[in-house]
Chain A
Amino acid sequence: MSVTEDTVLSFARGHRLQQDRVRDLWLVQAPEKAFIIEGAAPHILGLVDGERTVGTIIEVLTEQFSAPREVISTDVLALLSDLTEKGVLRA
Protein backbone atom coordinates (compact mmCIF):
# COMPACT_ATOMS: atom_id res chain seq x y z
CA MET A 1 0.00 0.00 0.00
CA SER A 2 1.12 3.57 -0.47
CA VAL A 3 1.25 5.99 2.42
CA THR A 4 -0.56 9.32 1.92
CA GLU A 5 -1.39 12.22 4.20
CA ASP A 6 -4.70 10.53 5.05
CA THR A 7 -3.09 7.31 6.23
CA VAL A 8 -3.16 6.45 9.93
CA LEU A 9 -0.18 4.32 10.93
CA SER A 10 0.83 2.34 13.97
CA PHE A 11 3.74 0.09 14.85
CA ALA A 12 3.24 -3.50 13.71
CA ARG A 13 3.13 -6.01 16.55
CA GLY A 14 6.65 -6.89 17.70
CA HIS A 15 8.08 -3.52 16.71
CA ARG A 16 8.57 -0.45 18.88
CA LEU A 17 10.42 2.80 19.20
CA GLN A 18 12.82 2.92 22.12
CA GLN A 19 15.28 5.38 23.58
CA ASP A 20 18.59 3.76 24.51
CA ARG A 21 19.79 5.89 27.40
CA VAL A 22 23.00 3.91 27.89
CA ARG A 23 24.21 4.48 24.32
CA ASP A 24 22.40 7.80 23.96
CA LEU A 25 20.52 6.95 20.79
CA TRP A 26 17.10 5.94 19.48
CA LEU A 27 16.25 2.62 17.98
CA VAL A 28 13.46 0.49 16.63
CA GLN A 29 13.16 -2.88 18.29
CA ALA A 30 12.08 -5.65 15.93
CA PRO A 31 11.99 -9.47 15.89
CA GLU A 32 15.53 -10.61 16.69
CA LYS A 33 17.10 -7.29 15.75
CA ALA A 34 17.20 -3.62 16.68
CA PHE A 35 18.14 -0.83 14.32
CA ILE A 36 19.36 2.67 15.07
CA ILE A 37 17.37 5.64 13.78
CA GLU A 38 18.84 9.10 13.53
CA GLY A 39 18.14 12.70 12.58
CA ALA A 40 14.46 13.59 12.42
CA ALA A 41 13.32 9.94 12.44
CA PRO A 42 12.86 9.61 16.23
CA HIS A 43 10.70 12.77 16.24
CA ILE A 44 8.61 11.48 13.35
CA LEU A 45 8.16 7.98 14.77
CA GLY A 46 7.39 9.38 18.21
CA LEU A 47 4.21 10.81 16.69
CA VAL A 48 3.07 7.50 15.16
CA ASP A 49 0.33 6.38 17.53
CA GLY A 50 -2.42 4.70 15.54
CA GLU A 51 -4.57 7.84 15.80
CA ARG A 52 -2.88 10.77 14.06
CA THR A 53 -3.00 10.91 10.28
CA VAL A 54 0.28 11.36 8.43
CA GLY A 55 -0.94 14.86 7.56
CA THR A 56 -1.35 15.72 11.25
CA ILE A 57 2.16 14.40 11.96
CA ILE A 58 3.49 16.70 9.22
CA GLU A 59 1.69 19.68 10.71
CA VAL A 60 2.94 19.03 14.23
CA LEU A 61 6.52 18.80 12.95
CA THR A 62 6.18 21.87 10.72
CA GLU A 63 5.23 23.84 13.81
CA GLN A 64 7.89 22.27 16.05
CA PHE A 65 10.76 22.81 13.63
CA SER A 66 9.48 26.02 11.95
CA ALA A 67 10.46 24.59 8.57
CA PRO A 68 8.59 24.73 5.23
CA ARG A 69 5.78 22.17 5.09
CA GLU A 70 6.98 20.75 1.73
CA VAL A 71 10.40 19.91 3.15
CA ILE A 72 8.93 18.20 6.21
CA SER A 73 6.29 16.33 4.23
CA THR A 74 8.85 14.89 1.79
CA ASP A 75 10.96 13.53 4.67
CA VAL A 76 8.00 12.20 6.62
CA LEU A 77 6.38 10.44 3.66
CA ALA A 78 9.70 8.91 2.59
CA LEU A 79 10.46 7.51 6.04
CA LEU A 80 6.94 6.26 6.78
CA SER A 81 6.55 4.65 3.35
CA ASP A 82 9.86 2.87 3.72
CA LEU A 83 9.05 1.52 7.19
CA THR A 84 5.55 0.46 6.09
CA GLU A 85 7.04 -1.45 3.19
CA LYS A 86 9.45 -3.15 5.60
CA GLY A 87 6.57 -4.19 7.86
CA VAL A 88 7.68 -2.06 10.81
CA LEU A 89 4.58 0.13 10.52
CA ARG A 90 1.13 -0.73 9.30
CA ALA A 91 -1.96 1.16 8.30
Chain B
Amino acid sequence: MTLPQPPMSLLAELTHRCPLACPYCSNPLDLERKAAELDTAGWRRVLEQAAEMGVLQVHFSGGEPMARSDLVELVTLARKLNLYTNLITSGVLLDASKLEALDKAGLDHIQLSFQDVTTEGAERIGGLKGAQERKLKAARLIQESGIPMTLNFVVHRENVARIPQMFELARELKAGRVEIAHTQYYGWGLKNRDALLPSREQLEESTRSVEAERAKGGLAIDYVTPDYHADRPKPCMGGWGQRFVNISPSGRVLPCHAAEIIPNVTFPNVRDESLADIWNNSHLFNMFRGTEWMPEACRACDRREIDWGGCRCQALALTGDAANMDPVCSQSPFHEQIVKIADNNGVPKDTLFYRRF
Protein backbone atom coordinates (compact mmCIF):
# COMPACT_ATOMS: atom_id res chain seq x y z
CA MET B 1 0.00 0.00 0.00
CA THR B 2 1.34 3.42 -0.89
CA LEU B 3 1.24 6.05 1.81
CA PRO B 4 -1.11 9.00 1.39
CA GLN B 5 0.35 12.41 0.54
CA PRO B 6 1.19 14.33 3.73
CA PRO B 7 -1.12 17.16 4.81
CA MET B 8 -0.40 20.72 3.65
CA SER B 9 -2.04 22.51 6.58
CA LEU B 10 -2.50 21.96 10.27
CA LEU B 11 -5.35 23.59 12.15
CA ALA B 12 -4.18 23.75 15.75
CA GLU B 13 -7.22 24.36 17.94
CA LEU B 14 -5.23 25.32 21.00
CA THR B 15 -8.25 25.81 23.24
CA HIS B 16 -12.02 25.95 23.13
CA ARG B 17 -12.04 28.80 25.63
CA CYS B 18 -13.23 32.09 24.11
CA PRO B 19 -14.64 35.37 25.46
CA LEU B 20 -17.22 35.34 22.65
CA ALA B 21 -20.29 33.12 22.35
CA CYS B 22 -21.07 33.18 18.61
CA PRO B 23 -24.04 30.95 17.75
CA TYR B 24 -22.32 29.73 14.57
CA CYS B 25 -19.09 28.66 16.29
CA SER B 26 -17.39 25.80 14.46
CA ASN B 27 -16.33 24.14 17.71
CA PRO B 28 -18.29 21.03 18.70
CA LEU B 29 -21.33 21.31 20.99
CA ASP B 30 -19.39 19.33 23.55
CA LEU B 31 -16.60 21.81 24.29
CA GLU B 32 -13.33 20.67 25.83
CA ARG B 33 -12.37 22.26 29.13
CA LYS B 34 -9.06 23.81 30.11
CA ALA B 35 -8.03 20.83 32.26
CA ALA B 36 -8.24 18.54 29.21
CA GLU B 37 -6.00 20.72 27.01
CA LEU B 38 -2.64 19.55 25.71
CA ASP B 39 0.21 21.19 27.56
CA THR B 40 2.99 23.22 25.94
CA ALA B 41 5.26 20.19 25.53
CA GLY B 42 2.41 18.35 23.80
CA TRP B 43 1.88 21.15 21.29
CA ARG B 44 5.63 21.49 20.72
CA ARG B 45 5.78 17.81 19.84
CA VAL B 46 2.83 18.23 17.45
CA LEU B 47 4.58 21.09 15.62
CA GLU B 48 7.82 19.17 15.31
CA GLN B 49 6.06 16.10 13.95
CA ALA B 50 3.97 18.19 11.57
CA ALA B 51 7.00 19.94 10.08
CA GLU B 52 8.81 16.64 9.68
CA MET B 53 5.82 15.14 7.83
CA GLY B 54 5.69 18.00 5.34
CA VAL B 55 3.01 20.31 6.76
CA LEU B 56 3.61 23.79 5.31
CA GLN B 57 1.24 26.08 7.19
CA VAL B 58 0.00 26.02 10.74
CA HIS B 59 -3.14 27.91 11.69
CA PHE B 60 -3.32 28.68 15.40
CA SER B 61 -6.99 28.74 16.20
CA GLY B 62 -9.48 27.90 18.93
CA GLY B 63 -11.69 29.02 20.62
CA GLU B 64 -9.54 32.04 21.13
CA PRO B 65 -5.89 30.98 20.75
CA MET B 66 -4.75 34.11 22.60
CA ALA B 67 -6.31 32.62 25.73
CA ARG B 68 -3.27 30.29 25.80
CA SER B 69 -0.29 31.78 27.63
CA ASP B 70 2.17 29.75 25.52
CA LEU B 71 1.05 31.11 22.14
CA VAL B 72 4.22 33.17 21.58
CA GLU B 73 6.40 30.17 22.43
CA LEU B 74 4.51 27.99 19.95
CA VAL B 75 4.70 30.59 17.17
CA THR B 76 8.43 30.96 17.78
CA LEU B 77 8.95 27.21 17.49
CA ALA B 78 6.76 26.92 14.39
CA ARG B 79 8.77 29.61 12.62
CA LYS B 80 12.01 27.93 13.63
CA LEU B 81 10.65 24.78 11.99
CA ASN B 82 9.98 26.82 8.83
CA LEU B 83 6.21 26.50 9.16
CA TYR B 84 4.11 29.40 7.90
CA THR B 85 2.31 30.76 10.95
CA ASN B 86 -1.21 32.14 10.86
CA LEU B 87 -3.12 33.37 13.89
CA ILE B 88 -6.91 33.10 13.70
CA THR B 89 -8.22 35.41 16.40
CA SER B 90 -11.21 37.42 17.54
CA GLY B 91 -8.81 40.20 18.56
CA VAL B 92 -10.53 40.94 21.86
CA LEU B 93 -7.50 39.84 23.91
CA LEU B 94 -4.95 41.59 21.70
CA ASP B 95 -3.01 44.62 22.92
CA ALA B 96 0.15 46.42 21.81
CA SER B 97 2.57 44.41 23.94
CA LYS B 98 1.09 41.03 23.00
CA LEU B 99 1.18 41.96 19.33
CA GLU B 100 4.79 43.05 19.62
CA ALA B 101 5.73 39.70 21.16
CA LEU B 102 3.96 37.82 18.36
CA ASP B 103 5.62 40.03 15.77
CA LYS B 104 9.04 39.31 17.29
CA ALA B 105 8.22 35.60 17.30
CA GLY B 106 7.91 35.87 13.52
CA LEU B 107 4.15 35.53 13.08
CA ASP B 108 3.48 35.57 9.33
CA HIS B 109 -0.20 36.51 9.12
CA ILE B 110 -3.27 37.31 11.20
CA GLN B 111 -6.86 36.50 10.39
CA LEU B 112 -9.04 38.78 12.47
CA SER B 113 -12.74 38.03 12.81
CA PHE B 114 -15.54 40.56 12.88
CA GLN B 115 -19.11 39.53 13.60
CA ASP B 116 -20.61 42.53 11.80
CA VAL B 117 -19.89 46.15 10.88
CA THR B 118 -22.42 47.59 13.31
CA THR B 119 -21.69 47.41 17.03
CA GLU B 120 -25.23 46.32 17.75
CA GLY B 121 -25.20 43.51 15.18
CA ALA B 122 -21.72 42.36 16.15
CA GLU B 123 -22.38 42.25 19.86
CA ARG B 124 -25.73 40.49 19.46
CA ILE B 125 -23.84 37.65 17.74
CA GLY B 126 -20.64 37.68 19.81
CA GLY B 127 -22.51 38.17 23.08
CA LEU B 128 -19.77 40.38 24.53
CA LYS B 129 -20.26 44.06 25.31
CA GLY B 130 -17.44 46.29 24.11
CA ALA B 131 -16.06 43.63 21.75
CA GLN B 132 -16.45 45.68 18.57
CA GLU B 133 -14.39 48.56 19.91
CA ARG B 134 -11.66 46.16 21.04
CA LYS B 135 -11.62 44.50 17.62
CA LEU B 136 -11.30 47.82 15.81
CA LYS B 137 -8.42 48.73 18.12
CA ALA B 138 -6.78 45.36 17.42
CA ALA B 139 -7.17 45.87 13.68
CA ARG B 140 -5.44 49.26 13.86
CA LEU B 141 -2.57 47.83 15.90
CA ILE B 142 -2.11 45.04 13.35
CA GLN B 143 -2.26 47.56 10.52
CA GLU B 144 0.50 49.61 12.19
CA SER B 145 2.66 46.53 12.79
CA GLY B 146 2.69 45.68 9.08
CA ILE B 147 1.76 42.03 9.71
CA PRO B 148 -0.45 40.99 6.76
CA MET B 149 -4.08 40.81 7.81
CA THR B 150 -7.21 39.11 6.57
CA LEU B 151 -10.56 40.26 7.92
CA ASN B 152 -12.98 37.40 8.37
CA PHE B 153 -16.74 37.92 8.40
CA VAL B 154 -19.06 34.98 8.97
CA VAL B 155 -22.33 35.93 7.33
CA HIS B 156 -25.91 34.78 7.94
CA ARG B 157 -29.38 36.20 7.51
CA GLU B 158 -28.94 38.93 10.13
CA ASN B 159 -25.82 40.57 8.64
CA VAL B 160 -25.72 39.39 5.04
CA ALA B 161 -27.15 42.66 3.72
CA ARG B 162 -24.12 44.57 5.04
CA ILE B 163 -21.46 42.84 2.90
CA PRO B 164 -20.66 46.07 0.98
CA GLN B 165 -19.93 47.82 4.32
CA MET B 166 -17.72 44.88 5.32
CA PHE B 167 -15.57 45.53 2.26
CA GLU B 168 -15.47 49.23 3.11
CA LEU B 169 -14.20 48.43 6.59
CA ALA B 170 -11.55 46.09 5.16
CA ARG B 171 -10.27 48.80 2.83
CA GLU B 172 -10.31 51.38 5.59
CA LEU B 173 -8.26 49.06 7.84
CA LYS B 174 -5.86 48.25 4.96
CA ALA B 175 -6.50 44.51 5.16
CA GLY B 176 -5.03 42.79 2.12
CA ARG B 177 -7.61 40.05 2.18
CA VAL B 178 -11.22 39.59 3.21
CA GLU B 179 -13.03 36.38 3.84
CA ILE B 180 -16.79 36.48 3.43
CA ALA B 181 -17.80 33.09 4.74
CA HIS B 182 -21.43 32.07 4.88
CA THR B 183 -22.15 30.09 8.04
CA GLN B 184 -21.61 26.36 7.66
CA TYR B 185 -24.25 24.27 9.34
CA TYR B 186 -22.46 21.99 11.77
CA GLY B 187 -22.42 21.94 15.58
CA TRP B 188 -23.58 25.31 16.90
CA GLY B 189 -24.40 26.53 13.39
CA LEU B 190 -26.68 23.55 12.82
CA LYS B 191 -28.37 24.15 16.18
CA ASN B 192 -29.05 27.74 15.06
CA ARG B 193 -29.78 26.99 11.41
CA ASP B 194 -33.35 28.27 11.41
CA ALA B 195 -32.20 31.65 12.68
CA LEU B 196 -29.10 31.93 10.49
CA LEU B 197 -29.72 30.34 7.10
CA PRO B 198 -30.19 33.08 4.47
CA SER B 199 -32.91 32.91 1.85
CA ARG B 200 -32.00 32.15 -1.75
CA GLU B 201 -32.55 35.86 -2.58
CA GLN B 202 -30.20 36.92 0.21
CA LEU B 203 -27.58 34.49 -1.04
CA GLU B 204 -27.86 35.78 -4.60
CA GLU B 205 -27.58 39.37 -3.39
CA SER B 206 -24.48 38.51 -1.35
CA THR B 207 -22.85 36.88 -4.38
CA ARG B 208 -23.56 40.01 -6.44
CA SER B 209 -21.96 42.19 -3.75
CA VAL B 210 -18.84 40.02 -3.78
CA GLU B 211 -18.59 40.09 -7.57
CA ALA B 212 -18.99 43.88 -7.64
CA GLU B 213 -16.20 44.25 -5.10
CA ARG B 214 -13.91 41.85 -6.97
CA ALA B 215 -14.36 43.95 -10.10
CA LYS B 216 -12.91 46.97 -8.26
CA GLY B 217 -9.63 45.11 -7.60
CA GLY B 218 -7.03 45.75 -4.92
CA LEU B 219 -8.53 43.40 -2.36
CA ALA B 220 -8.15 39.61 -2.31
CA ILE B 221 -11.53 38.08 -1.53
CA ASP B 222 -12.31 34.58 -0.32
CA TYR B 223 -16.00 33.80 -0.62
CA VAL B 224 -17.60 30.73 0.92
CA THR B 225 -21.25 29.98 0.14
CA PRO B 226 -23.75 28.01 2.21
CA ASP B 227 -24.29 24.83 0.27
CA TYR B 228 -27.93 24.35 1.26
CA HIS B 229 -28.93 26.30 -1.85
CA ALA B 230 -26.54 24.39 -4.11
CA ASP B 231 -26.97 21.21 -6.12
CA ARG B 232 -23.31 20.19 -6.27
CA PRO B 233 -21.48 19.44 -3.03
CA LYS B 234 -18.38 21.31 -1.90
CA PRO B 235 -15.00 19.52 -1.97
CA CYS B 236 -15.04 19.49 1.82
CA MET B 237 -11.49 19.97 3.23
CA GLY B 238 -10.17 19.18 -0.27
CA GLY B 239 -11.05 15.54 0.39
CA TRP B 240 -11.08 13.56 3.66
CA GLY B 241 -7.54 13.07 4.93
CA GLN B 242 -5.91 14.60 1.89
CA ARG B 243 -4.79 18.15 2.64
CA PHE B 244 -5.83 19.14 6.15
CA VAL B 245 -5.33 17.88 9.61
CA ASN B 246 -7.09 19.31 12.62
CA ILE B 247 -6.02 18.88 16.21
CA SER B 248 -8.49 19.51 19.02
CA PRO B 249 -7.47 21.17 22.31
CA SER B 250 -7.11 17.76 23.99
CA GLY B 251 -4.97 16.38 21.17
CA ARG B 252 -7.52 14.47 19.15
CA VAL B 253 -6.48 14.30 15.51
CA LEU B 254 -9.35 14.90 13.10
CA PRO B 255 -9.84 15.19 9.33
CA CYS B 256 -11.99 18.32 9.95
CA HIS B 257 -13.23 20.31 12.92
CA ALA B 258 -16.70 18.72 12.82
CA ALA B 259 -15.60 15.08 12.60
CA GLU B 260 -16.14 14.32 16.27
CA ILE B 261 -19.82 13.68 15.50
CA ILE B 262 -18.88 10.54 13.52
CA PRO B 263 -20.20 7.60 15.59
CA ASN B 264 -18.57 4.25 16.39
CA VAL B 265 -14.99 5.28 15.74
CA THR B 266 -12.02 5.88 18.01
CA PHE B 267 -10.53 9.34 17.73
CA PRO B 268 -6.76 8.99 17.68
CA ASN B 269 -4.78 11.27 19.98
CA VAL B 270 -1.28 12.74 19.70
CA ARG B 271 -0.75 11.70 23.33
CA ASP B 272 -0.80 8.05 22.22
CA GLU B 273 0.60 7.95 18.68
CA SER B 274 2.64 10.07 16.31
CA LEU B 275 0.88 12.43 13.94
CA ALA B 276 2.30 10.56 10.93
CA ASP B 277 1.07 7.21 12.24
CA ILE B 278 -2.40 8.63 12.76
CA TRP B 279 -2.49 10.34 9.35
CA ASN B 280 -1.25 7.27 7.48
CA ASN B 281 -2.72 4.35 9.37
CA SER B 282 -5.65 5.25 11.61
CA HIS B 283 -9.09 3.89 10.84
CA LEU B 284 -10.57 7.40 11.14
CA PHE B 285 -8.36 8.91 8.43
CA ASN B 286 -8.80 5.97 6.08
CA MET B 287 -12.59 5.70 6.50
CA PHE B 288 -13.46 8.17 3.73
CA ARG B 289 -10.12 8.74 2.05
CA GLY B 290 -10.02 8.57 -1.75
CA THR B 291 -12.96 7.11 -3.69
CA GLU B 292 -13.19 3.46 -2.57
CA TRP B 293 -15.67 4.12 0.25
CA MET B 294 -18.10 5.99 -2.03
CA PRO B 295 -21.64 4.91 -2.86
CA GLU B 296 -21.86 3.46 -6.36
CA ALA B 297 -23.36 6.58 -7.94
CA CYS B 298 -20.45 8.67 -6.63
CA ARG B 299 -17.83 6.20 -7.81
CA ALA B 300 -19.36 6.37 -11.30
CA CYS B 301 -19.53 10.18 -11.26
CA ASP B 302 -16.95 12.18 -13.21
CA ARG B 303 -16.80 14.70 -10.37
CA ARG B 304 -15.62 12.10 -7.83
CA GLU B 305 -12.12 13.56 -7.69
CA ILE B 306 -13.36 17.16 -7.92
CA ASP B 307 -15.67 17.25 -4.91
CA TRP B 308 -14.54 13.96 -3.29
CA GLY B 309 -18.16 13.15 -2.50
CA GLY B 310 -18.79 16.37 -0.58
CA CYS B 311 -19.04 16.45 3.18
CA ARG B 312 -19.26 13.38 5.42
CA CYS B 313 -20.41 15.33 8.47
CA GLN B 314 -23.25 16.87 6.49
CA ALA B 315 -24.30 13.45 5.18
CA LEU B 316 -24.34 12.22 8.75
CA ALA B 317 -26.16 15.22 10.20
CA LEU B 318 -28.91 15.22 7.58
CA THR B 319 -29.26 11.56 6.57
CA GLY B 320 -28.07 9.70 9.65
CA ASP B 321 -25.17 7.96 7.90
CA ALA B 322 -21.79 9.53 7.13
CA ALA B 323 -21.26 7.10 4.24
CA ASN B 324 -24.36 8.32 2.38
CA MET B 325 -24.14 10.78 -0.50
CA ASP B 326 -23.88 14.39 0.60
CA PRO B 327 -27.55 15.50 0.39
CA VAL B 328 -26.46 18.73 -1.32
CA CYS B 329 -25.85 16.69 -4.47
CA SER B 330 -28.92 16.72 -6.71
CA GLN B 331 -28.36 13.00 -7.32
CA SER B 332 -28.66 12.16 -3.64
CA PRO B 333 -31.91 10.41 -2.68
CA PHE B 334 -32.00 12.86 0.26
CA HIS B 335 -31.58 16.02 -1.84
CA GLU B 336 -35.28 17.00 -1.58
CA GLN B 337 -34.84 17.24 2.16
CA ILE B 338 -32.18 19.93 1.93
CA VAL B 339 -34.17 21.83 -0.71
CA LYS B 340 -37.10 21.89 1.67
CA ILE B 341 -34.99 23.20 4.53
CA ALA B 342 -33.47 25.88 2.28
CA ASP B 343 -36.81 27.01 0.87
CA ASN B 344 -38.81 26.93 4.08
CA ASN B 345 -36.77 29.47 5.90
CA GLY B 346 -39.03 32.39 4.99
CA VAL B 347 -40.12 32.59 8.61
CA PRO B 348 -36.95 33.27 10.53
CA LYS B 349 -36.57 32.34 14.15
CA ASP B 350 -34.75 35.00 16.06
CA THR B 351 -33.89 32.96 19.13
CA LEU B 352 -30.18 32.22 19.19
CA PHE B 353 -28.51 29.44 21.18
CA TYR B 354 -25.20 30.91 22.26
CA ARG B 355 -22.04 28.85 22.41
CA ARG B 356 -21.54 27.90 26.05
CA PHE B 357 -19.60 25.31 28.01
Instruction: Give me the interface of A with B, judged by CB distance under 8 Å.
Output: 12-14, 16, 18, 20, 22-23, 27, 29, 31-32, 34, 87
Contacts and interface: CB of A to CB of B under 8 A. Distances in A.
Q: Is the interface of A mostly helix, strand, loop or mixed?
A: loop
A13 B147 contact: yes
A87 B175 CA distance: 13
A32 B86 contact: yes
B115 interface: no
Contacts of B8: 34
Given A13-B146, A29-B108, A34-B56, A22 B6 contact: yes
Interface string B298-327: 000000000000000000000000000000
B53 A32 contact: no
A32 B54 contact: no
A48 to B, nearest CB: 18
For this complex, into which size category does the number of interface residues on chain B fall? Answer: 20 to 34
Interface in B88-137: 108-109, 111
A22 B82 CA distance: 13
A20 B147 contact: no
B348 interface: no
Interface string B37-80: 00000000000000001101100000000000000000000000
B148 interface: yes
A22 B111 contact: no
B334 interface: no
Nearest to A31: B109
Given A12-B148, A31-B176, 5 more contacts: A14-B147, A20-B54, A29-B84, A31-B109, A34-B56
B54 A31 contact: no
16 contacts: A13-B147, A14-B108, A14-B109, A16-B84, A18-B82, A20-B56, A22-B53, A22-B54, A23-B6, A23-B54, A27-B56, A29-B108, A31-B86, A31-B109, A32-B150, A87-B176
